[in-house]
Amino acid sequence: MADPQEPHDDADAPLSPEAEKDRAASEGSGEDFHAASLRAEDEPDTVAVDDPDPKDAAEPDDVIHEPGDVDSDTSDGTSGEAVRVTPDGDDAPMDAEPTDKKRAALVYNPTKVDPEVLRPRVSELSAEAGWAEPLFYETTVDDLGDLATRAALKEDVDAVLVAGGDGTVRAVAEALTSTGIPLTIVPSGTGNLLARNLNLPLDDADAMIRATFDGKVHATDTGIARIRRADGTVEEHGFVVMAGMGLDAAMIQNTRPELKKSVGWVAYVDGAARSLVNAKPFRVMYQQDGHGHRLHSAKVQSVLFANCGALPGGVALIPDASIADGILDVAVIQPTGPLGWLGVWRKIWWDNSVLRRFRAGRRVLERRRDSSVRYLRGTGIELATAPAQPIELDGDEFGEATRIYARVIEGGLQVNLPAGHDTSTL
């Protein structure tokens, strides 16, 4: 009997001519696979072939735009570089005055926070702690926060605070990965997914700002996604919560911005409903690091790569995921039949978020055979598909890709937590 925790795998089915053609589209020849591989050069090539048989592999629901698709805003004479401001919000030179004291930098999204309140409070609490006047950087259309963070690092700051949506947190965390400079998250915006997974206070900005100066530093993992576009270009981006390919990315695209502003993260329910109307499965070829050379195949609606697994509302998408275990958790969403999506929601909401809390419920789950959501765990995984499918990183649409290789950097991000914060469940 197949392992119930493995995705449907068609490895043993005979290859028909049509399936062979589709397999070549998804996997390519051995030489092409080597050239397109997103793993390190010293990692082994994939040589085994499964039967994908993807006759009904779906086109993407819609074209999802990459962040770079937005034309740069040069109306104010800037050219897409990081923007630093004074404590009063006026333009400031990028080179800061040197100081012998410790100094923090605040990177914030001015559309998600009230800068006139936040900047003075960070200055006040910095002074109380005996630190120098902080450096302030605003995100722009051209800089999601990574350029600002790198500019702050050039000034030898001792900590970076971030205030904005999940996309801002992702960009700042990406720039801080492997630097050893701790990050303080001041919860803002709609989702606050990383803050929720760290069990941080969502309505006490002062507590989080103070954590920069008198809190404790906790090492967390960082996700890395190397993606290949249909034109062959390869990019690498970080994520701190999860990345995804397929329906979840379409759902984010179909979420109306005006609804997010009025009802917050609940707006994603509307996006999901609008995406499900035209949702179709697509075929992926995948290979896990450390599992030999065998290339597997599965027909899916979505694949999620998780650094941590909790969603707003107490929903445990991936209940075993930990942000500090050095392991990448993968959820393969593959509903079957007209009632398949009911199985997905039962698995995510009822099974993971309710039954798993009780001993009797866990016994029920041990006896249940449910293939609507499958889980994989490891250090990394590579997926290939054709045609290209939409992808998302930490809730932001990131274009379409034909390949994605996801892994985690264990302990790659240092995070400031309030003094006495419980880390036993992280």
Q: 10 Å Cβ neighbour count for 74?
A: 10
Instruction: Give the model's pLDDT for residue 318.
Output: 81
Q: In the structure encoding, which two tokens stand for residue 93, read together?
A: 């030179």
Instruction: Give the model's pLDDT for residue 340.
Output: 65
- Grouping H, G, I as helix, E, B as strand and the rest as coil, residue 218 is strand
Angstrom distance (rounded) from CA 34 to CA 382: 13
**pLDDT per residue as tens digits for the range 306-317:** 998 776 666 677
Instruction: Give the model's pLDDT for residue 64.
Output: 34
Instruction: Give the model's pLDDT for residue 26.
Output: 38
Instruction: Give the model's pLDDT for residue 76.
Output: 39
Angstrom distance (rounded) from CA 245 to CA 298: 13
Regions in the chain scoring below 50 on pLDDT: 1-6, 10-79, 254-256, 258-275, 277, 354-355, 364-365
Angstrom distance (rounded) from CA 141 to CA 368: 48
**pLDDT per residue as tens digits for the range 53-111:** 333 333 333 333 344 433 434 333 444 578 999 999 999 999 999 999 999 999 999 99
The CA-based angle 63-69-72, given to 5 degrees, is: 160
Instruction: Give the model's pLDDT for residue 366.
Output: 54
Beta bridge partners of 91: 85
Q: 10 Å Cβ neighbour count for 335?
A: 22
Beta bridge partners of 185: 162
Instruction: Give the model's pLDDT for residue 370.
Output: 59
Instruction: Give the model's pLDDT for residue 247.
Output: 82
Q: Calculate what percentage of the chain has a pLDDT beyond 70.
A: 64
Instruction: Give the model's pLDDT for residue 141.
Output: 86
The CA-based angle 303-308-310, given to 5 degrees, is: 90
Angstrom distance (rounded) from CA 316 to CA 242: 13
The CA-based angle 264-276-386, given to 5 degrees, is: 115
Q: 10 Å Cβ neighbour count for 191?
A: 21
Assess contact for 401 and 229: CB atoms under 8 A: yes
Instruction: Give the model's pLDDT for residue 194.
Output: 93
Assess contact for 185 and 402: CB atoms under 8 A: no
Instruction: Give the model's pLDDT for residue 278.
Output: 63
Distances (CA, A) of 367 to 58, 234, 350, 362, 401: 33, 43, 15, 9, 37
